[in-house]
Structure 1
Amino acid sequence: MDLEIYQVDSFTTEAFKGNPAGVCITKNGIAERLMLSIAEEMAVSETAFLSLSDMTLRWFTPKAEVKLCGHGTLAVAHVLTERGLLKQGDQINFETASGTLTALINEATIELDFPSPIINFDVTQPPELLDYLGIEKSKIISFGHFDSKFLIEVDSEKTLRNLQPNFDALKQLNGRGVLVTTRSESDNLDFLSRYFAPWVGVNEDPVTGLAHCALTVYWSEKLGKIQLKGFQASTRGGYVATELLPNGRTKLVGSAVTVIKGTIQVPII
């Protein structure tokens, strides 16, 4: 069986920047084990699978299915636009494990409507986690937890950029993801971040849409503004514009570039 397959760099206007996502769009849904096999073969942080018959959207890392993925959703909306199935001004709804997600197609960007997480700051700071991340306790400004993930604000861009986590050691702990952030020293940005998820096969995610929902909640309250600009300071790097909406939702705005498109030959399962 032949399936169309794409690789899209999300949250960037340049090829080989941002976060690469696999995209597989089919008329009807395909078997879960086949989706996981394709995600393993694509070997990027997430591969998105869209069934056009019911607009069901799912995302897989090379190791597991995830409930929500920003850059994968952006990549799917981008491919649908390139294929002529969407045009400027169109809005599309995707049915997902996290509820209905909406994408609005603009001239040069795509707006995603995602749920805002609740951040709990009444949590213990695990010393082993901080040790394996390479973060000194004195460098921590704030420590919280959201959606089974940790959020840590550190004291400076230097601290953030210099992090070199021990991923093998981190995988020995219970975990799902760690989001580290700091206030930007640039007038053009509000915050920087990095996101680590070795527990699902992604040591460092290049640009994480879901993380920016939490970052929007966090920095909106801290900075007293609802429209924000963030940069994820991974090796590839990527920019995300965000807005805290009044209905418990977050708007993520970004662009994408298709870098690979072709056919993947898979067994019928």
Structure 2
Amino acid sequence: MQLTIVDAFTQTPGAGNRAGVVLDAAGLDGEAMQRIAAVVGASETAFLLSPPGEGPVRLRYFAPSEEIPFCGHATVATFHLLVERGVLKAPGSYRLECAAGVLDVELESLGAGGTRAWIVTPKQPWVESPVPLETLMGLVGGRVEMVDRSLPVLRNGHRVVIPLRRREDVWDLAPRPGALAEVLRPHGLSGVYVFTRETKDASSVAHSRYFVPGIGVAEDPVTGSAAGPLGMYLATRGLLALPAEGGTVRARIEQGDAIGKPGRIEVEVTGRAGEPERARIGGVAVTVLEGTLRA
């Protein structure tokens, strides 16, 4: 099986978030894809189900222990590779078909800087967390005093989002993956996403970490699927200022620095002030390794 390793949300090999990409997965069943993803060992591996033609680009995503409906960094990695191979062209507009639905993708040409993929992220309702905050903070190796009480702790899909006051607090977390997964699993949760508004770069809006033991990933280095919803969360509370008459705002989210794999995710939110309607994530990537996998 031909396999490519791509680092997404960075153009520096070894930084960002690593994805496996299989461009010829039409003959593979889910069991084979899961076995390959486990061997690759990246947080996710993307499998292209059919050559892009007139229809959408069809992908399936597998973490080391299970299939997931959508993955931001593996999508960025796949579209980067398709452009690099000459299969798709940038600039261009495409559609992505995956278990989370059919999503719009725009490829932006950066000239000598490569290609940035912009992907609409799936929308999930924001509801109260089913797990007590004290329990969650203990399991991620933190203290309740670290929490930014000016913002709510909420569940979004399969993750709980926790705002912290300081970047130092985010970096100091030391989760217990097994215990965390055990507590999250009965509620249909797989991870805890923490962020702070205290950033490394003045141009960024948030600095984050994501612990996802429920899918076999102790910590995901840079997470596009969480960054889009975070943009919606911030826009709802006026921390990303949308125009009253409606429009679009862009921001940048930092992640991966705490574990030596820095990446940057561009986030675009569209809607009216306090009422975001859609989020897109934007990212670049770099091809690291191409070879044959025997699994």
TM-score in terms of structure 1 length: 0.92
Structure 1 window deviating more from structure 2 (123-132 vs 143-152): it is: 123-132
Structure 1 window deviating more from structure 2 (10-19 vs 167-176): it is: 167-176
- Whether 2:154 is the aligned partner of 1:144: answer yes
2:214 maps to which residue? Answer: 199
1:127 maps to which residue? Answer: 134
Structure 1 window deviating more from structure 2 (40-49 vs 136-145): it is: 136-145
- Whether 2:61 is the aligned partner of 1:59: answer yes
Is the CA contact (8 Å cut-off) linking 2:129 and 2:160 kept in structure 1?
no
Given candidates 239, 242, 245, the residue that maps to 2:267 is 242
Alignment of 1:30-45 (within 5 A): 30-45=28-43
> What do the CA deviations read for 1:215-267 (whole angstroms, capped 9, x no partner)?
1111223314232111014421210110112384311111000001122235x
- Whether 2:122 is the aligned partner of 1:115: answer yes
Instruction: Output the aligned Cα RMSD.
Output: 1.8
1:172 alignment partner, SS class: helix
Displacement of 1:148 after TM fit?
2.3
Identity across the alignment (%): 31
2:169 maps to which residue? Answer: 159
> What do the CA deviations read for 1:186-229 (whole angstroms, capped 9, x no partner)?
42211111000112110000001111012111122331423211
| Structure 1 CA distance for aligned equivalents of residues 250 and 283 of structure 2 | 14
Runs of 4+ in 1 over 6 A off after TM superposition: none
AA aligned opposite 1:21: A
> What do the CA deviations read for 1:83-124 (whole angstroms, capped 9, x no partner)?
101122122212111111232221232211222333224755
| Structure 1 CA distance for aligned equivalents of residues 10 and 258 of structure 2 | 13
| Structure 2 CA distance for aligned equivalents of residues 14 and 47 of structure 1 | 19
> What do the CA deviations read for 1:6-62 (whole angstroms, capped 9, x no partner)?
010000011110000000011725211110011011011000001125632110011
AA aligned opposite 2:160: F
1:48 maps to which residue? Answer: 46
1:181 maps to which residue? Answer: 195
Is the CA contact (8 Å cut-off) linking 1:125 and 1:143 kept in structure 2?
no
Runs of at least 5 residues in structure 1 that lack an aligned partner in the other structure: none
| Structure 1 CA distance for aligned equivalents of residues 89 and 227 of structure 2 | 26
- Whether 2:258 is the aligned partner of 1:265: answer no
In structure 2, the CA distance between the partners of 1:259 and 1:58, relative to structure 1 (3 Å rule), is same
